[in-house]
A = this chain, B = another copy of it.
Amino acid sequence: MTNGVAELFKRVSLGVYVVGVTDGHRKSAFTAAWVTQVSFKPLMLAVSVNPHSSTFPLLESSQTFSVNVLAEEQIELARHFGTPGLPDKLAGIDWHSGSSGCPLLRQALAWFECEVTGIYPAGDHLLVVGHVTGGHLQNRDVLPLTYRDTGNMDGAERFYPASLEA
């Protein structure tokens, strides 16, 4: 049974994304749900990322990232890019490099390319804010995958306390 706090946080509506990174040589990507638009002018997105992941140094080094929007039937792709420890997460995936060099997934419903404008503390994560320098809607006919619909795919429920009282 999910605890009350995990259920409460499921009421924050989120999509599911594959964030692509590169340091100019290596390329990788990871699944993320904590993504929002943050500005109109310029157009900007923010992504909250785990600074201890093996891929974060790539983002930090190039100060660029891509955000690939997964479609509702792409939960397996979310699971794949959410699996830690794979030697090459992009192996067997159809992708190409964006103008920043970050991987763009040909299967994604849409993608954005971003240049980092700031990285800010956010508890056990870092909030990466980026100016959107490119983007493309690849498929108008399918809806985005919602994080809520992935259930406990990523095992995140264990990270919520049973109660909000400290």
What residues of chain A have their CB less than 8 Å away from a CB belonging to chain B? 4-5, 7-9, 11-15, 34-46, 48, 69, 109-110, 112, 117-118, 120-125, 127, 129, 131-137, 140, 144, 146-147, 156, 159-161, 164
Contact = CB atoms under 8 A, between A and B. Distances in A.
15 contacts: A8-B135, A11-B109, A12-B35, A13-B144, A14-B36, A35-B36, A38-B123, A39-B124, A41-B123, A42-B124, A46-B46, A118-B120, A121-B129, A122-B129, A134-B164
A123 B48 contact: no
A129 B132 contact: no
Contacts of A161: 43
B11 A36 contact: no
